[in-house]
C-alpha cells in the first residue's frame, strides 16, 4: 500500500476495493488481464513476489503483464520522480523471467522493449520499426467522456486527432468523416514545412506501411510536432527529451 500511495497517491482502502472488483469480475465470469507498470517503488523482489502470490489465485486470469513504461506524454516531471533506474529494471525483469515464470501456472508476459528502443536506427526497407506500430484508423477509435471521438487512447482531446462528436453524429459518420479520411491518407496538406517528412524520399513508403507511432513522435519532439518522423527513423532529427533509460 505504501508503494501505491507514492506512485498514484491513492487513499486508504484502495487495494481492498481493487480486490473486491476482481472478485466481482470472477464471480460473473469475466476474464481478467493485469498489467503491472514497474517503477522504483514496486520493482524489488519482495513487491513482485507479493503481486505474484495474489495474482496466482485469480481463477479466470488471462495473463499478467509486467511492463517497463515509456516516458509519459503528459506528466514528465511526475514520471521522472517514480522512474526506476536501468539497473533496477533489468534486475526486476530478470527475476520475473528466471524465478517467477518457471513456477507460474498461468501466462506471464515481460514487456521490456522500452530498454532497447532502436531510436534513429530505422531501415528504409523494413516495413515496420521494431517496438510497436500505430493502429490509427485501422480498426478502432476511442470515445472520450464528452462524446468526442479520438484516434488514439493516449491523445485524449488533442484537436488534430478529434474526428467527430458522437453527441451529434453516428459512429458511421464519424468513422467516414473528412477529417478521418485525411488523417488515414496522411495527406501532405496535414504536415507543415517544418516537418522533415515533408520532403523525405521515403515518405510514400512510410505512409503505405504506417511507419509512425504518433505518441512516440510527440514524446520526442513535443505535442505540436506530431507531423515529425517517428524517432526510430534513421532520418529523424535527434531529440532532447528523455526517452532513453
pLDDT at 137: 61
pLDDT at 168: 97
pLDDT at 191: 66
pLDDT at 221: 93
Question: Can you tell me the mean pLDDT for 138-164?
Answer: 90
CA-closest candidate to residue 244, choices 126, 120, 92, 146: 120
- pLDDT at 128 > cutoff 90: no
CA-closest candidate to residue 119, choices 219, 223, 224, 227: 219
**Cα separation of 165 and 66, whole Å?**
35
> For 125-139, 163-177, 206-220, which range has the lowest pLDDT when averaged over its residues?
125-139
pLDDT band at 164 (very low <50, low <70, confident <90, very high): very high
- pLDDT at 2 > cutoff 80: no
Mean pLDDT, the chain, integer: 88
pLDDT at 106: 96
Strand, helix or coil at 41? coil
pLDDT at 232: 92
Strand, helix or coil at 45? helix
CA-closest candidate to residue 48, choices 103, 86, 116: 103
* Segment 68-101, tens digit of pLDDT: 998 888 888 888 888 999 999 999 999 999 999 9
* Segment 169-218, tens digit of pLDDT: 999 999 999 999 888 776 555 667 888 988 888 888 887 887 888 889 99
pLDDT at 198: 85
CA-closest candidate to residue 6, choices 47, 55, 35: 47
- pLDDT at 10 > cutoff 80: no
Distances (CA, A) of 104 to 37, 54, 56, 95: 19, 12, 7, 13
* Beta carbons of 176 and 167 less than 8 angstroms apart: no
- pLDDT at 20 > cutoff 60: yes
Supply 59's cell numbers: 481463477
Strand, helix or coil at 130? coil
Amino acid at each position: 500500500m505504501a508503494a501505491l500511495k507514492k506512485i498514484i497517491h491513492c487513499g486508504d482502502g484502495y487495494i481492498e476495493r481493487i480486490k473486491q472488483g476482481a472478485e466481482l469480475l470472477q464471480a460473473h465470469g469475466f476474464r481478467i488481464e493485469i498489467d503491472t507498470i514497474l517503477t522504483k517503488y514496486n520493482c524489488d523482489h519482495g513487491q513482485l513476489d507479493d503481486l505474484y502470490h495474489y495474482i496466482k489465485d485469480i481463477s479466470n486470469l488471462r495473463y499478467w503483464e509486467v511492463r517497463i513504461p515509456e516516458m509519459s506524454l503528459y506528466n514528465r516531471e511526475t514520471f521522472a520522480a517514480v522512474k526506476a533506474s536501468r539497473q533496477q529494471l533489468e534486475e526486476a525483469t530478470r527475476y520475473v523471467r528466471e524465478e517467477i515464470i518457471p513456477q507460474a501456472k498461468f501466462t506471464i508476459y515481460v514487456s521490456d522493449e522500452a530498454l532497447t528502443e532502436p531510436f534513429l536506427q530505422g531501415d528504409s526497407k523494413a516495413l515496420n520499426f521494431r517496438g510497436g506500430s500505430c493502429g490509427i484508423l485501422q480498426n478502432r477509435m476511442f470515445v472520450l467522456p464528452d462524446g468526442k471521438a479520438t484516434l488514439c487512447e493516449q491523445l485524449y482531446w488533442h484537436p488534430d486527432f478529434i474526428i467527430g462528436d458522437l453527441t451529434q453524429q453516428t459512429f458511421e459518420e464519424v468513422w467516414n468523416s473528412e477529417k478521418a479520411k485525411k488523417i488515414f491518407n496522411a495527406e501532405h496538406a496535414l504536415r507543415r514545412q517544418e516537418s522533415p517528412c515533408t520532403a523525405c524520399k521515403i515518405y510514400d513508403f512510410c505512409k503505405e506501411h504506417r511507419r509512425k507511432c504518433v505518441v512516440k513522435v510527440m514524446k520526442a519532439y513535443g505535442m505540436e510536432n506530431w507531423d515529425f518522423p517517428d524517432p526510430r527513423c534513421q532520418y529523424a532529427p535527434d531529440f532532447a527529451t528523455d526517452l532513453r533509460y
